[in-house]
A and B are shown apart, each in its own frame.
Chain A
Amino acid sequence: MAQIDIRSVRKSYGKTQTLHGVDLIFPTGEFVVILGPSGCGKSTLLRMIAGLEEITAGEIAIGGTVVNRLEPRERGCAMVFQNYALYPHMSVADNIGYALKVAGVPKAERRRRIEETASIVGLSDYLERKPAALSGGQRQRVAMGRAMIREPKVFLFDEPLSNLDAKLRVSMRAEIRKLHQRLNATSVFVTHDQVEAMTLADRLVVMNKGQVEQVGQPLDIYHRPASTFVASFIGSPAMNLMDSRIEGGTVRIGGHAVRLSPAAASLEGREITVGIRPEQVRLSSNGTGVMAVADFVEELGSGRIVHAAMEGQAFAAAIGEEVRVQPGQPIAFELPAEHLHLFDRESGRRIEVEGPAASPVAAVPALALS
């Protein structure tokens, strides 16, 4: 079993630095998801663990051994690639068994393990086919079988689901999670899809512009985003963020003053960004509150998202009850103070307020993960 230690790892291509010092620990047997927009360096980090990219500075250790100078084959990792990277001239059986063939495993033993692996990934009937004759989901399974058969210490996934259609993606997600529980290897999964990240991760790493923004359990990150970037990247629809200032223990949003907890008094006069998740916004019962101009309503059946403009900025509210809203009609929202997130306007970092800020065990509405 293998813990992965990443110590102040940097990557530069010529003069451009793409990773600016990453420090992470992935404990043995955990399913770690690295989430970030494209170009944030998440794939580069994964490929550095695999040994496919050189490490410019810093250290990566797998199971206590520093692997900086080791070839990919000496690191005990297996990888599932975004485009599957199946060998087009080999049958499914040869694809799955290639690692064993290279390792010099005798033919009978190889055959036995290929069949065993194929039955786990549900490919027993396709062993003699070429990859070109398989569907997208089947190719994905071959790629997973090929990674599994070596019984690796570490499993690396490089956006493996992004080429599948929506329905298949959901079922493959479940299969990957099951596979992880069965193999008990350390898994690192890179994705830009926050739903994949939330559903799969034991531990979630959010990256942006070559830096780690936040590390934690998915729910912790959802409830206590460390920066405006994380706040807007996780959750769908994205968190509403509004510029404001703390005056007299309140924040002014949409022409309305929302009273903060007494603990926020120390922040008097600070320029901040206020965030609230659309799920936590309520329609005002008495017509007073934070005023906005309705734009349109997205009907989801189980709920609906009201899109509005507040002081010229887009504002979304996920509402449970059925509402009829005409475009251009003024609409009043209630923003519960305990669900407000405060961020420093300059740095975008979270400002922790003691007391009844967001409660970490609050029920998550179904909308958040759909």
Chain B
Amino acid sequence: MEKRSVFKSTWLPIVFALPQLTLILLFFYWPVAAVMNWAFTLEPPFGGAAEFVGLDNFREVFHDPFYWNSVLVSIIFAVCGALSAIFIGLVLALAVDRQLPGSGFFRFLYILPFAVAGPAGGIAFRFILSPERGLAAILNSIEPDLWNPAKYGSHALAFVIMIFIWKWAGYTFIFLLAGLQSVPRALIEAAAMDGSGPIRRAIDIQVPLLAPTLFFLLVTMMTEGFVGSDTFGMVHATTAGGPNRATEVMVYRIVDEAFHGLNYSGASAQSIVLIGLIMVFTFIQFRFIERRVHYK
């Protein structure tokens, strides 16, 4: 017999739910409402009531070449970062899944970066990939300026993407390893009997069976690349959007505009465009990629 307690009063359940409701209202719905309000109004610089300006904020955003630059940077960042993080996580998971001696230790090591906050990872990488000293400086001893993220935009963008990959490969690794472990061992053995080596088996058997997991990771990683709080943190702690806006991803630009430029209206309009962009990307993924995924 199942035992459940029934509350007769109506106010008690509401009291229990109240803290959660307050949090959601305060930190989710209220900011969304504020962003919607700001996106269509303009606050006079020297105080007074906000003035309704219709779509003027959006018009301004779309005419700003720096904005389009940040869209392009964000797309490169999210696509390269997401795909590389998934690919590296997959390779590591395939290696650990073979359960060779020591795989337990490596499994622990591969998950570890995910536990490090993005900005902290960014600071660490400033030392690791510094052009003046350390590991990457060896490149510059071959040829000056072979690696200089402080000077070249492309280097800087590669630099922040590397931090993103470093952190999120640990996350994709967890999901992909769990997925691989649910592939029956007999299938791998059958493929081995059929003459298929480890790499061939991965391509022919394991990856197709992982398709649902890979698709889930593609959607979540792309979203993380566009709007993740860590994406802002990584850029903020390393390049601060530079040099010459080469690493100014959309989230960084929004925060910068709102809290340095004090342009709440413009930042709000950009936020709404960003949300729209993510919806478009997710739609594309479901429309064109999901149909090739076989769920069991």
Identify which of residues 199-215 in chain B touch chain A, using a CB-to-CB cut-off of 8 Å: 200, 204-205, 208-209
- Give min CB distance, A53 to chain B, whole Å: 10
A14 to B114, CA, bound (A): 34
B251 CB → nearest A CB, Å = 38
**Distance between Cα atoms of A85 and B191 in the complex (Å):** 9
Question: Is A229 in the interface zone, CB < 8 Å from B?
Answer: no
A81 within 8 A of B: yes
Interface residue ranges of B147-198 to A (CB < 8 Å): 184, 186-187, 189-197
Measured between C-beta atoms, what is the minimum distance from A2 to chain B in Å?
Answer: 15
Q: How far is the CA of A146 from the CA of B186 in the complex (A)?
A: 14
The answer, yes or no, to whether A87 is at the interface (CB within 8 Å) is: yes
Chain B CB within 10 A, most for which of A73, A86, A146 = A73
Residues of chain B lying within 8 A (CB to CB) of residue A50: 189, 193
Q: Which of B189, B193, B195, B209 contacts A88 (CB 8 A)?
A: B209
A85 CB contacts on chain B under 8 angstroms = 184, 186-187, 189-190
Q: Binding site of B, secondary structure by majority: helix, strand, loop or mixed?
A: helix
- Contact check, B194 vs A81: say whether CB atoms are below 8 A apart: no
Contact assessment for B197 and A73 in the assembled complex, using a CB-CB cutoff below 8 Å: yes
The reply to whether the CB of B294 lies closer than 8 angstroms to some CB of chain A is: yes
Complex CA gap A78/B190 in Å reads 9
Asked if B4 is at the interface (CB within 8 A of a chain A CB), the reply is no
How many chain-A residues does the 8 Å CB contact rule pick out? 24
Tell me which residues across on chain B come within 8 A of A102, comparing CB atoms: 194-196, 200, 204
What CA separation (Å) do A82 and B186 show in the bound complex? 9
In the complex, the answer to whether A98 meets B194 with C-beta atoms within 8 Å is yes
Q: Are B190 and A81 in contact (CB under 8 A)?
A: yes
- State A81–B190 Cα separation when bound (angstroms): 8
Tell me if A52 and B209 are in contact (CB < 8 A): no
Interface residue? A27 (CB, 8 A)? no
Contact of A73 with B196 in the complex, beta carbons under 8 Å:
yes
The answer on a CB contact under 8 Å between A52 and B205 is no
- For the complex formed, measure the closest distance between the CB of A127 and the CB atoms of chain B, giving whole angstroms: 18
Once the chains are docked, how many angstroms separate the CA of A99 from the CA of B191?
8
* Contact partners of A99 in chain B: CB under 8 A: 194-195
Query: Which residues of A does B touch, CB under 8 Å?
Result: 50-52, 71-73, 77-79, 81-83, 85-89, 98-99, 102-103, 146-147, 150
